[in-house]
């Protein structure tokens, strides 16, 4: 959570930082602040969005070419002006921004209070800057050393930037468990939680590693480990392009990302499928072929939308690879004492690659000897670093907080993994694989066709926008699609929504159905079509409004449903990639009609780096 930006160079630091904070707002948007070196440290901070901070500071002097900024998702302390970052030391000499959580802050705070420190905020972050101040005062250490020593006392996760009045041309940056990138320019350096604030200035970046601390001047960069060993920085070239971070004519990032799906699914398959030969190439997993051949069980761990992608994978891996699969919420799994053996493979799915619960679950499974594969979108994020192997989804940056193209990219990669396992284990005929891969290659074009229903979906959204509740039903791979449809609707429109396996409806949720209850049903022509028709009849008999996702040309469901949305006919294995798209559009339009902030829904953040 929280986004951080730092700058030292020859440009106006405020401009670089504010632009960067806008790019990072997906990480948190309940308060924002900037510190600029202008004679001494000048701090500007405000509860609310980055634009509120801009309005607040509109008429103030914002000169300076060294500074740092923060956009917050509150953990310790409510969103307020005083809890906003930057925080400063008791004497106002030092300033800090922080992304992460200092778990032992209460103990540290108590010890510092006994030494006379007084705190102005309720945050864990302020404790750290007082600790650095205390170390400097008592041990007479230089800033870099004082920060390094202080970090040894900290339990938890952090990405921090520190400034001092006494070292006006220096920024100190450090990370452990929270991401941090350093952009390398000509006599200038940029620091950020991801590369998006940096890309327009330089393509050369260093991904700081855990337990590294950087001393940064305009023309000097020294990186050490927190145990004081010099580190050689590895400068790499960014693949990210500026236009990927802009709305490109769409009203919202979410809509742009929905429309990007034909491209992102294609990118995800590029160089990985060879339909004519019936071959799948997943370079990251090649060396685990023997392991996959002999695996007894696969455990999938993830959170939220990524967990839904995991449920789709359960169907596909069991169907084609014939391996038992368990899908677990990472947050539950990590606190159980699960039975895991060295023969198990764990697949961790995460768009951001930073989700705290998923990371902790990976560490636990690793300790118990399992082999861990990652399915992540953000290149260079933390999860790919702690897994044994993995496959990137290559969906490009996802900025809308509600996940759309990342979900379909995850499902695409997991479909490839299912086929890869089946091929290696010999549980699929070569001719069937040729057939499936040939169809899969056509999926981006079919998603394009799904998007053509947009105008029709706007009309349905108009009818549903004032609903207070909504039920989503599906069977087979339609069930995770129903869960995902419900999650999208609740998170961006604040309409209460539930996803259910269609047959479970009669075990409880049917009691909710009356004329005020819209029910979205995944009713495409597949193996459970007849059964879903019965479920629709049960809803209609109780006067519920049915919105059905159907296969084009459908007659039976169309006769019964109040509204239908057609998707192209495709193999059942690819249903989630198609049926999810109209549900994304439906939620999007309902949320826009209700005046909701689609890209930044209340209380949410894009990467959940706290448990």
Q: Is residue 95 part of the contact set for ligand F6R (CB under 6 A)?
A: no
Residue 258: count of CB within 10 angstroms of its CB: 26
Tokens of 518: 């819209």
Q: Dihedral sign for Cα 88, 105, 193, 395, please.
A: negative
Compute the distance between CA of residue 168 and CA of residue 499 in angstroms, rounded to an integer: 55
Among 121, 125, 178, 305, binds ligand F6R (CB under 6 A): 305
Please say whether the dihedral angle defined by the alpha carbons of residues 367, 368, 371 and 377, taken in this order, is positive or negative.
Answer: negative
Number of residues that bind ligand F6R (CB under 6 A): 15
Instruction: Pick between residue 352 and residue 493 the one whose CB is nearest to ligand F6R.
Output: 352
Q: Identify the active-site residue in 42, 291, 525, 606.
A: 606
Query: In degrees rounded to 5, what are phi and psi of residue 286?
Result: -50, -45
Task: Report if residue 402 touches ligand F6R, rule: CB under 6 A.
Answer: yes
Nearer to ligand F6R, 213 or 327 (CB): 327
- Please confirm, yes or no, whether 470 is among the known catalytic residues: no
Catalytic option among 2, 303, 450, 596: 2
In 3-state terms, what secondary structure has residue 176? strand
Query: Alpha-carbon distance 259 to 255, whole Å?
Result: 6
Q: Does 403 bind ligand F6R (CB under 6 A)?
A: yes
Contact indicator for 265, 444 with CB cutoff of 8 Å: yes
Rounded to whole angstroms, the Cα distance separating 71 from 50 reads 7
Instruction: Tell me whether residue 393 or residue 524 sits nearer to ligand F6R (CB atom).
Output: 393
Is 2 noted as a catalytic residue in this protein?
yes
* For ligand F6R, the closer CB: 159 or 437: 159
Q: Minimum distance between the CB of residue 608 and ligand F6R, rounded to whole angstroms?
A: 5
Does 364 interact with ligand F6R (rule: CB under 6 A)?
no
Residue 22 · residue 208 · CB < 8 Å = no
Nearer to ligand F6R, 477 or 551 (CB): 477
The answer to the question of residue 303 lying near ligand F6R (CB under 6 A) is: yes
How far is 2 from 609, CA to CA, in rounded Å?
A: 9
Nearer to ligand F6R, 261 or 305 (CB): 305
String of contacts with ligand F6R for each residue 314-353, x by CB under 6 A: ------------------------------------xxx-
Provide, rounded to whole angstroms, the least separation between the CB of residue 27 and ligand F6R: 11
Q: Segment contacting ligand F6R (CB under 6 A): 179-187, 271-279, 302-310, 363-371?
A: 302-310
Q: In b/e form, how buried is each residue of 438-451, taking b as 16+ CB within 10 angstroms?
A: eebeebbebbbebb
Binding mask of the shown chain, residues 56 to 75, with x at each position contacting ligand F6R by CB under 6 A: --------------------
Q: Which of 491, 554, 566, 599 binds ligand F6R (CB under 6 A)?
A: 491
138 three-class SS: helix
C-beta of residue 21 within 8 angstroms of C-beta of residue 5: yes
Assign 607 to helix, strand or coil: coil
Compute the distance between CA of residue 566 and CA of residue 547 in angstroms, rounded to an integer. 11
Q: Which of 164, 358, 382, 564 binds ligand F6R (CB under 6 A)?
A: 358
Which alpha helices (H) appear in 426-544, and where do they start and end? 430-451, 454-464, 478-493, 529-541
- Residue 493, interface with ligand F6R (CB under 6 A)? no
Minimal distance, residue 591 CB to ligand F6R, in Å? 12
Show which residues are catalytic. Answer: 2, 606
**What is the binding site for ligand F6R (CB under 6 A)?**
303-306, 350-352, 355, 358, 402-403, 487, 491, 607-608
């Amino acid at each position: 959570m929280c986004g951080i930006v730092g700058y030292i160079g020859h440009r106006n630091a405020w401009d670089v930082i504010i632009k960067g904070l806008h790019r990072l707002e997906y990480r948190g948007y309940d308060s924002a602040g900037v510190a600029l070196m202008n004679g001494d440290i000048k701090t500007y901070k405000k509860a609310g969005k980055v634009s509120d901070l801009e309005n607040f500071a509109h008429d103030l002097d914002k000169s300076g070419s060294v500074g740092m900024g923060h956009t917050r998702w509150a953990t310790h302390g409510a969103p307020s002006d005083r809890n906003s970052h930057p925080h400063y030391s008791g004497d106002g000499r030092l300033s800090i921004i922080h992304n992460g959580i200092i778990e032992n802050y209460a103990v540290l705070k108590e010890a510092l209070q006994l030494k006379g420190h007084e705190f102005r905020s309720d945050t864990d972050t302020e404790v750290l800057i007082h600790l650095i101040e205390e170390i400097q005062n008592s041990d007479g250490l230089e800033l870099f050393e004082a920060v390094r020593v202080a970090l040894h006392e900290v339990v938890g996760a952090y990405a921090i930037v520190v400034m001092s009045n006494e070292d006006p041309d220096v920024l100190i940056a450090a990370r452990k468990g929270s991401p941090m990138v350093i952009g390398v320019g000509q006599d200038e350096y940029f620091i950020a939680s991801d590369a998006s604030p940096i890309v327009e200035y330089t393509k050369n970046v260093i991904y700081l590693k855990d337990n590294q601390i950087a001393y940064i001047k305009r023309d000097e960069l020294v990186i050490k480990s927190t145990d004081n060993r010099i580190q050689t920085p590895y400068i790499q070239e960014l693949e990210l392009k500026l236009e990927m971070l802009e709305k490109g004519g769409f009203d919202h990032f979410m809509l742009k990302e929905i429309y990007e799906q034909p491209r992102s699914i294609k990118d995800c398959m590029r160089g990985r499928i060879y339909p004519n030969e019936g071959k799948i190439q997943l370079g990251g997993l090649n060396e685990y072929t023997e392991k996959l051949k002999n695996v007894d069980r696969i455990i999938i761990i993830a959170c939220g939308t990524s967990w839904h992608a995991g449920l789709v994978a359960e169907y596909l891996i069991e169907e084609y690879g014939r391996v038992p699969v368990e899908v677990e919420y990472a947050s539950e799994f990590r606190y159980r004492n699960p039975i895991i053996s060295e023969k198990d493979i764990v697949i961790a799915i995460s768009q951001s690659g930073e989700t705290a619960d998923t990371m902790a679950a990976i560490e636990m499974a690793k300790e118990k000897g399992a082999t861990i594969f990652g399915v992540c979108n953000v290149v260079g994020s933390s999860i790919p670093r702690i897994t044994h192997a993995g496959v990137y989804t290559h969906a490009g940056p996802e900025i809308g907080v509600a996940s759309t193209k990342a979900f379909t990219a995850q499902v695409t990669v997991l479909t490839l993994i299912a086929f890869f396992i089946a091929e290696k284990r010999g549980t699929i005929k070569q001719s069937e694989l040729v057939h499936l891969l040939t169809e899969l290659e056509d999926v981006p074009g079919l998603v394009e066709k799904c998007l053509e229903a947009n105008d029709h979906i706007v009309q349905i959204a108009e009818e549903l926008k004032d609903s207070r509740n909504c039920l989503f039903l599906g069977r087979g791979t339609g069930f995770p699609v129903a869960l995902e449809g419900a999650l999208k609707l609740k998170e961006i429109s604040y309409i209460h929504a539930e996803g259910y396996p269609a047959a479970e409806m009669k075990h409880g949720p049917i009691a909710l159905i009356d004329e005020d209850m819209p029910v979205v049903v995944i009713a495409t022509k597949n193996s459970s079509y007849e059964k879903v028709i019965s479920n629709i009849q049960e809803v209609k008999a109780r006067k519920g409004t049915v919105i059905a996702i159907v296969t084009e040309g459908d007659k039976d469901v169309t006769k019964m449903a109040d509204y239908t949305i057609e998707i192209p006919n495709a193999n059942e294995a690819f249903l989630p990639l198609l049926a999810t798209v109209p549900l994304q559009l439906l939620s999007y339009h309902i949320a826009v009609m209700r005046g909701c902030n689609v890209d930044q829904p209340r209380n949410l953040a894009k990467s959940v780096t706290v448990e």
